Structure 1
């Protein structure tokens, strides 16, 4: 599908799997940037800034034309939930998500070095968890799955049984809104 190789500025295996599923030719070059939220920064602005920062950081490390960066957060009652710090933090997050709707917001940026410009967009998906029992939460945490995922869960993995329904993009919840990304790559001439 790809006319040119895209650089994915992410170590996420889920993002790689999604791009592979679309037949996109890419290579991985994770960009390590500070992901702290700035004072007063709105959640959508936060993910957009990080996505563009990752894409531009990767562009500063290698050759190429198109660089794709992304950042995903879980937003529940105004709290940005990143990756849990430890077992207690994962428990706290999953208890907070139990039985209430929340949003998964992914910002993505495609930096075009030739144009020295980035196309940035955020996609929001509403996710509804069933009420979770403490033993379900503890069993899920014991798998180790929550610790490298925003909000402490992976919809495509062991947490699938916790999700009653979603309103929006499934791939966005996985970590990359594939439909929107592919469309923007086409618009930019990367595909």
Structure 2
């Protein structure tokens, strides 16, 4: 039997997100978690796709000195509505405002993904889009949802893997895990290209 991925090279998630940790665990591989602790502010005039690609790479490279011979995963996500980046609401009033604005609209999520081989300094970077079409939402619906799930640390003010699914008219994208924050289909392909197939 060939050695497993973890026996050949450590796998490291450069994120403290519990959602990304849960997603990566689906692949059934042992991995370490490391806080990249980087500045995530956009650069002046930076577009959403450039922002998430840059931050995904920066997160991976931020932990590389601690893991000099590992495959390091960096990821970042933003939501865009009417051409404007909308972030994590942080509190109830901002979440209400975000969901009122999203009502009946399409929000596009861009998830940047970087797989860095810190031993060879080779990297793969991709950006996965995913569109969410919201139902028309009443104030009562918004309040009921927010009180039950309190998604104040989630871009767009919802958890698609939870009750947030009730807010949507439809979803449009290649990889539903990208909406939660870590595109596993693309990551699987990146691992294969890095010589570390999962299967």
Do these two structures clear the TM 0.5 threshold for a shared fold by scoring above it?
A: yes
- Out of 192, 196, 199, the residue aligned to residue 186 of structure 1 is 192
Q: TM-score, normalised by structure 1?
A: 0.93
Structure 2 alignment gaps of length 5 or more: none
Task: Say whether residues 1:7 and 2:22 are aligned partners.
Answer: no
Listed as ranges, the matches of 1:100-179 within 5 Å are: 100-143=105-148, 145-168=150-173, 169-179=175-185
The structure with more radius of gyration: 2
Task: Name whichever of 155-164 and 143-152 sits farther off.
Answer: 143-152
Distance 1:64 1:163 in 2: 42
Structure 2 CA distance, aligned partners of 1:79 and 1:49? Answer: 18
Displaced runs of 4 or more, over 6 A = none
Equivalent pair of 2:13/2:74 in contact (CA under 8 Å): yes
Unaligned segments of structure 1, at least 5 residues: none
Q: 1:73 aligns with which of 78, 82, 92?
A: 78
Distance 1:134 1:118 in 2: 45
Query: Is the CA contact (8 Å cut-off) linking 2:69 and 2:119 kept in structure 1?
Result: no
Alpha carbon RMSD of aligned pairs, Å?
1.5
Length-normalised TM-score, structure 2? 0.90
After the TM superposition, which of the residue ranges 98-107 and 62-71 deviates more from structure 2? 62-71
| Contact 2:68-2:119 at 8 Å conserved across structures | no
